Amino acid sequence: MIGDAFVFDGVAHPFNFEEGNAYGPPGQMFSNHLYAFHAALTPPTEPVMPSAEWLHKWSIDEIGEMIYDHSDTDMLVAMPLPLTDLFRDGLSPWQECARLAQRDPDRTILWGTVNPLEGKKALDDVTRQVEEYGAKAFKFYNVRYEDNGPVPWRMDDKQVAFPVFERIRDLGINLIGVHKGVPLGPQPIEYTQTWDMDGAAANFPDINFVIFHVGLPFIDETCWQLIRYPNLFASLAASLNFIVRAPRQFAEVLGKLLFWCGEDKIVYGSEAPLWQPQWALRAFWNFQIPDDMCAGYGYPQLTDQAKKKILGENLLRLHGMDVDATVTRLGRKPAHS
Amino acid sequence: MPDVDPVIARALRGVFDPCCRDKGISVVDMGLLHRAQVEDGVAHVDLLLTSGWCPFAARVLTDVEAAVAALPEVDTADVRVVWDEPWDASRLSEDARSKLRFMPAPAQVADREAFITSKLMRQEASR
């Protein structure tokens, strides 16, 4: 916990940047973009790893230690990447995430992932990941890059997406995340925009959808969608990491979300090991929207109550977990400096 | 924009923010141009991005560099992104502002619920 806030980290990836895992230049470009985020947004007071050191196969112990031993994080989502178009194992294979979840089974939750373009195989994989590995939610990526070209799909596609959502729902799961905004590598921007979330949210009102990265840079569009659909939520994962390098830019994003969507619809994610979680957690816990932005633009202030909801309580509720019972079950971890 | 050479600004009115190309909004109208000066044949151009996640940063830099380098008084162009100053909507030109204000600043909304209801009704009516 940081202060008296329970911290539930919505995303960490055990990346495999091992040489040979990337399929040629598109995969290498994707890896290099990720490293650039690490180097560009890590604050000057924190260590930046050299690229040769950072671009390695991250073990589950490295991720677990980064999250639980070196930050105030109480729970974690082990989040796979299904980028089998760019990397031989998808970059962060779900099997490795299952191992990460098994490392700390009381604290780490597995989200599954499949490629809906694979049809029946995708449906079978959903079932397997839930029934055999205990996946509690799923995360999707709409853009794939195959045969030297983009192969996108949409979240409102009745043939591609809806059968997968139906299978997930049939298995008793009501939580789905999707990467939006922030295209990496040779991905077309159109399919990282959020337009297709209307159709997904409207057709599956009993499923809660989390728009990762708050759809940046399309924040106004994301806000208007979150206003209209009670089952849409926004994750600050990666967007939060502008908090030290560009605090006013972050304040503008957060101010818009707080005013239009409210503090109940925003969740936290560290994106470890892109960044060590603790500096961003500490910065967020101490963060205030600048007074001139509250006065001039009318943004609400970020209260302690809002921080607690964003850092953990909202994501606990999305997983159907009681906040007080979970805090009692796990106890208070000693705070880090 | 006191630090912007008007010749460079004029050249960049033909370079579009890729997110707004369909609306015909240039990088100048978007307020991305922070500084632009020519010294001894070298054009120094500093840009602000609307978002740190601007997916087109590389393309904007390339397009701006090409447009500036094409000027007769410019031998080479040095185009950079400024990270320590945030872009905000006050940098939009009036024309861009009229085309883009998707959600108003909260301070301009007297009654949030009434605004949302009104916008929803307009949206329904336009279908």
Mutate to test the interface with B, among A179, A193, A213, A297 (most CBs of B within 10 A): A297
Q: Which of A311, A277, A331, A282 is nearest to A66 (CA)?
A: A277
Contacts of B53 in chain A (CB under 8 A): 181-182, 213, 216-217, 238-239
Lowest mean pLDDT: which of A332-336, B43-47, B75-79, B87-91?
A: A332-336
Domain that holds residue B95: 6-100
Answer whether residue B2 shows pLDDT above 60: no
Task: Give how far B123 is from chain A: nearest CA, Å.
Answer: 11
A335, part of any domain: no
B38, part of any domain: yes
Q: Which residue carries 């998808």 as its tokens? A: A90
Check B19 against A217: CB less than 8 A apart: yes
Contacting residues for A151 by C-beta, under 8 A, at least 6 apart: A85, A117, A143, A144, A145
B64, part of any domain: yes
Three-state SS at B39: strand
Check A182 against B51: CB less than 8 A apart: no
Q: What angle do CA A151, A31, A71 make, to 5 degrees?
A: 120
Contacts of A217 in chain B (CB under 8 A): 19, 50-51, 53-55
Contacts of B51 in chain A (CB under 8 A): 216-217, 219, 249
Domain that holds residue A128: 8-328
Check B55 against A227: CB less than 8 A apart: no
Percentage with pLDDT > 90 across chain B: 47
Residue A121 CB neighbours (<10 A): 12
Give tens-digit pLDDT for B40-55. Answer: 999 999 998 887 767 6
Q: Which of A316, A319, A318, A245 is nearest to A283 (CA)?
A: A245
How far is it, in rounded angstroms, from Cα A285 to Cα A302? 10
Q: Which of A182, A223, A238 sits opposite B103 (nearest CB)?
A: A223
B95, part of any domain: yes
Between B95 and B42, the higher pLDDT residue? B42
Q: Which of A169, A141, A106 is nearest to A325 (CA)?
A: A106
The number of folded domains in chain A is 1
Q: How does the average pLDDT of chain A come out, rounded?
A: 93
Task: Give how far B97 is from chain A: nearest CA, Å.
Answer: 14
Task: Give how far A12 is from chain B: nearest CA, Å.
Answer: 19
pLDDT digit string (tens) for chain A, length 337 residues? 999 999 999 999 999 999 899 988 888 888 988 998 899 899 999 999 999 999 999 999 999 999 999 999 999 999 999 888 889 999 999 999 999 999 999 999 999 999 999 999 999 999 999 999 999 999 999 987 777 778 889 999 999 999 999 999 999 999 999 999 877 766 677 778 888 999 999 999 999 999 999 988 888 889 999 999 999 999 999 999 999 998 988 999 999 999 999 999 999 999 999 999 999 999 999 999 999 999 988 999 999 999 999 999 999 999 999 999 999 999 877 777 6
A333, part of any domain: no
B43, part of any domain: yes
The number of folded domains in chain B is 1
A337, part of any domain: no
B111, part of any domain: no
Percentage with pLDDT > 70 across chain B: 91
Confidence of residue B87 (pLDDT cuts 50, 70, 90): confident
Contacting residues for A113 by C-beta, under 8 A, at least 6 apart: A79, A80, A81, A82, A90, A94, A129, A138, A139, A140, A141
Give tens-digit pLDDT for A124-175. Answer: 999 999 999 999 999 999 987 777 778 889 999 999 999 999 999 999 999 9
Residues of B with CB under 8 A from a CB of A: 18-19, 50-56, 83-84, 86-88, 102-103, 105-109, 112, 116, 119-120
pLDDT for the residue B1: 45
Percentage with pLDDT > 70 across chain A: 99
Q: How does the average pLDDT of chain B come out, rounded?
A: 85
CB–CB of A178/A211 below 8 Å? yes
CATH code, B68: 3.30.300.130
Q: Which of B81, B7, B11 is nearest to B50 (CA)?
A: B81
How far is it, in rounded angstroms, from Cα A109 to Cα A326? 13
B124, part of any domain: no
Mutate to test the interface with A, among B21, B48, B53 (most CBs of A within 10 A): B53
CATH code, A100: 3.20.20.140
Mutate to test the interface with B, among A194, A198, A216, A249 (most CBs of B within 10 A): A249
Three-state SS at B46: strand
B115, part of any domain: no
Partner residues linked to A22 by β-bridges: A87
Q: What is the pTM of this model?
A: 0.85
Tokens in use for A101?
């979840």
pLDDT for the residue B122: 81
CA–chain centroid gap for A134, Å, is: 19
Three-state SS at A183: coil
> How much is the ipTM here?
0.75
